Amino acid sequence: MRVAAILVAAGRGVRLGADRPKQFLELAPGRTMLQMSLDALTSVPAVTEVVVAVPQGALAEGQDVFSELRAGRDECTVVFVEGGERRQDSTANAFARISQDADVVVVHDAARPFASRSVIERTIAAAATHGAAIAALAAVDTIKQAKHHGGHAVIAATLPRETIFLAQTPQAFRRDVLADAMAAASGVQVTDEAMLVERAGYHVHLVEGDAANIKVTTAADLVRAQTQAGRNGATSMRIGTGYDLHRLVEGRPLILAGVQIPFERGLLGHSDADIVCHAVTDAILGAAALGDIGAMFPDTDPQWKDADSLELLRAAADQLRAAGVQIGNVDVTVIAERPKLRPHVDTMRANLARALGVDVSAISIKAKTNEGVDATGRGEAMACHAVVLLASVAAGL
């Protein structure tokens, strides 16, 4: 079976708001979205040719992309063509360059740079058997159909989610099926090739897609894709540790992760002495090489007297985002003989999650005793250890 592929990379990426088409943006150092998408197709042994549709006037830039991938890929021919005004026009321009003896044609969107070999191969196999197939994800949320009422969107119907699938690419077709569908497409506006084939009367089969096979459309998508691309590299992660200890004294509230916990004593400190927030702040600042909590919020500065440590943690998280860094997860261990912290852990986790701008599932808090050993074990102090994993979304980290 001879398999050809079309890589649709002719869009301008207007919704992303970048200074150039999104497919030419780097997701990892030296790796553009177009390079990664092309690499995904050429890594499949069955694919022997790829035609890439790029924006008008961008043929030279496309050739530069392939020159960096050429080594070891002589068995797969790659050519570039200019795309058209619409997606279907770009596909048609590329299809005209596909070999006549191709049995199956794969169409893939360059805005999906994480298509796995297994997804591509099972889509090809289904198209060879059934004539047409697309990768898709089954809906997991309740699906609401909307209508406009009084200038607002309201629910018109609740759709059975077992009938709803979210289309991805690759999409694959027998050559004759796609040719027939494209010949009948005059005057028709479609959003993907499967719509053309459906309109031509063919059944399009669904194969299991991949949640990692995301499409980059908005600026938020780009950040997610850069993080995802970075996580595949050896130097994209950083781990930080934090530690804090304060003495317990009478006349002070006991505040841990922003929760005031009923107890006869509290922690002594310049701020609210929240050892959980302090340890987490030190961990994230250390992992990002942004200093430590003492440098950022010195206890010699009156403005931090009795300060809310959740706000200090939020300020540190803002520093992370400015540095192009995202928090993967946080693991906290509080060491105290008393009081029991288990009733408060859920609220503590939620407070940290809000301050850091992450889902609560990324936050773990555990409480341990020191078995009566040293000042902490004697109940004279409390301590906290924190570990954080950071993911870079900027090449500089």
Percentage above 90 pLDDT, the chain = 58
Question: Are 276 and 201 within one domain?
Answer: no
Within-domain flag for 20: yes
Q: What is the CA radius of gyration of the chain?
A: 27
Note whether 249 and 238 are within 8 A (CB): no
pLDDT of residue 225: 84
Same domain, 148 and 245: no
Residues 199 and 337 in one domain: no
The pLDDT of residue 231 is above 50: no
Kindly tell me if the per-residue pLDDT of 380 is higher than 80: yes
Does 104 map to a domain?
Answer: yes
pLDDT confidence of residue 253: 94
Q: Is the pLDDT of residue 156 over 80?
A: yes
Note every long-range contact of 262-270, with CB atoms under 8 Å and residues 24 or more positions apart, other chains counting: 262/339, 263/338, 263/339, 267/382, 269/299, 270/299, 270/304, 270/305, 270/306
My answer on whether 26 and 164 are in the same domain is yes
**307 phi/psi in degrees, rounded to 5:** -65, 150
Give domain status of residue 397, yes or no: no
Task: State which residues form the domain around 200.
Answer: 3-231
Tell me which amino acid residue 76 is. C
Q: Is the pLDDT of residue 72 over 50?
A: no
DSSP of 317-336: HHHHHHTTEEEEEEEEEEE-
| Per-residue confidence (pLDDT) for residue 299, from 0 to 100 | 67
Residue 81, in any domain of the structure? yes
Domain annotation covers residue 282: yes
pLDDT grade, residue 227 (50/70/90)?
Answer: confident
Are 284 and 160 within one domain?
no
pLDDT of residue 329: 92
Res 137: pLDDT? 95
Chain segment 124-139, per-residue pLDDT in tens: 999 999 999 999 999 9
Q: What is the pLDDT of residue 148?
A: 92
Residues 249, 364, single domain; the answer is: yes
Q: Which of 231, 266, 284 is the last residue of a domain?
A: 231
Tens digit of each residue's pLDDT (9 = 90 or more) over 326-338: 788 999 999 999 9
What is the per-residue pLDDT across 164-221, written as a single tens digit (0 to 9) for each?
999 999 999 999 999 999 998 777 888 899 999 999 999 999 999 998 899 998 877 8
Q: 378 with 295, same domain? A: yes
Same domain? 268 vs 353: yes
Same domain flag for 164 and 225:
yes
- CATH number for the domain that contains residue 329: 3.30.1330.50
| One domain for residues 251 and 356 | yes
pLDDT at residue 71, rounded to an integer: 40
Specify if 34 maps to a domain. yes
The verdict on 351 and 224 lying in the same domain is no
Tell me, what's the pLDDT at 31? 83
Span 283-341, pLDDT tens digits: 998 887 777 777 777 767 676 676 788 988 988 887 776 555 778 899 999 999 999 99
Provide the number of structural domains found in the chain. Answer: 2
The residue from 212, 231, 250 where one domain ends is 231
| 242, 227: one domain | no
